[in-house]
Amino acid sequence: MKLILSLLFLSLRFPSFFHPAEARGGERTSSISGFMVDNNAIRGRHLFQENHFQKLDNLAHGYMTNSDLENAIKAFGNRCPSISRIYSIGKSVKGVPLWVMEISDNPGKEEAEPAFKFIGNVHGDEPVGRELLLLLANWLCDNYMKDPLATLIVNNVHLHILPSMNPDGFLLRQRGNANNIDLNRDFPDQFFSINDDVGARQPETKAIMSWLKEIQFTASASLHGGALVANYPWDGTQDRRKYYYACPDDKTFKFLASVYSRSHHNMSLSEEFQGGITNGASWYPIYGGMQDWNYIHGGCFELTLEISDNKWPTANELPTLWELNKMSMLNLVAVLVKTGVHGRIFSSDCGRPLPASIAVKRINYTIKATEAFADYHRLLAPGERYDVVAKMPGYKSKSTSILLAEEAMTVDFILDPVITPMGSLLGSGCDFSWDNKSRLQLVEYFPRLHLEISLTLVVVILVFLCFLLRRRAILNYLKHRESVGPIRSNVAV
């Protein structure tokens, strides 16, 4: 009896002793982003005692406040103006700007380079990411042109860092935003009709979605807490059950997750997750997540990184967490230029860049080259043979077979316009008009093309009719000659 009472006391006093932490999906609700109510939502590291806020508030000592974070971001921009740009992608529910630090040797300018984004503090009560991302930005500033890895990243990648996606949740010491919505359940879902109402989405979610319309990111990662693992798609399943559910680029995602895990000694030695990585649906399914949405709608390979077992460790642990995660973050960004297939696509008739699509045979996933420079950056797991295909309406597709080693490969494509039966070039790049940003105006091009084809058809038909009439006249003349016999000359010699 005493043993039973003791166990009952422990279960009430230390609930996480009996249940493992669920970092990504610790709170599953039936609010705007959920159709599934999980009784496990009240377990794990989420404490519901009356002094919950006070406990987290005490832990927050030593962390940057929202004002401190904004000042630190602006101070970074002032300290490193030659390789950085500070901008906001929107505001939170309470009107806090969502500040981003862009780091590049040409910040704010479009280049034929891949773009990567880091997002921290998606959940308000997981603040480690916002601290580490400030440290990452400052480390790159301090080590540019001194450290080879820092120099590689700044010179070859456009890195965008959003330290806090959920400043309101941080202020309130809660997982959700000011409306108590879990932002990692607020994106449109591929399997179920949730979050399809644009007006009902949270402003932080809308800001991320608009951000991906402005910038074509190659890859990204969001930083979370409550476990130690690199998580990759898919996050959900069609039948809502828990099992391994692979996306088309499963091998590539496992490679990317392993890059992070192997660089993080503790993560790679995980006893819970083999190699320190996991498929999201195999861990536990979630719906409306940011990770899957990025891959489906943004053409962006995103990982969800759980970087600390404790959601809110004391501030004196931050230096250790930085050292544990520093090389992982750097290597994940650097992989964009260290491996994969990269190149540009041009038209053969005049050499103009073409914003074509890049596909890989036997992988049901397509990326697009940028419109400005027609550059593409296709992440692929090294050590495999791939058939890479470039295709665009109005042009003949071209493919090449490559054996991708550990190093990156450059493969440019020159596409030939399709020649119509009338002899005109269906997809001539030289017929495109360009605005002041040198972007192709396909809308203006195709109506003009249709008009040109119509006029050509009319001319061809008229020429053909004239040919038929002339042929008929010649045949009639020859018949007449045969009927009257030889023609005699009246000219005297």
Using an 8 Å Cβ cutoff, are 105 and 155 in contact? yes
CB neighbours (10 Å) of residue 180? 16
Contact 132, 321 (CB under 8 A): yes
Cα dihedral across residues 31, 37, 43, 48: positive or negative: positive
Instruction: With beta carbons less than 8 A apart as the criterion, state whether 477 and 471 touch.
Output: no
Instruction: Tell me how far CA of residue 299 lies from CA of 2, 61, 82, 287, in angstroms.
Output: 59, 39, 29, 19
Q: Which residues contact 315 (CB under 8 A, 6 or more apart)?
A: 59, 61, 62, 63
Residue type, 220: S
Nearest to 348 by CA among 398, 409, 400, 402: 398
Concerning whether 306 is annotated as a catalytic residue, the answer is yes
List 27, 110, 113, 306, catalytic entry: 306
Q: Judging by DSSP bridges, how do beta strands 357-360 and 384-391 pair with one another?
A: antiparallel
Question: What is the 3-state secondary structure of 2-41?
Answer: HHHHHHHHHHHHCHHHHCCCCCCCCCCCCCCCCCCCCHHH
Instruction: Give, in order, the Cα–Cα distances in Å from 38 to each of 1, 285, 414.
Output: 32, 11, 53
The residues assigned a catalytic role are 306
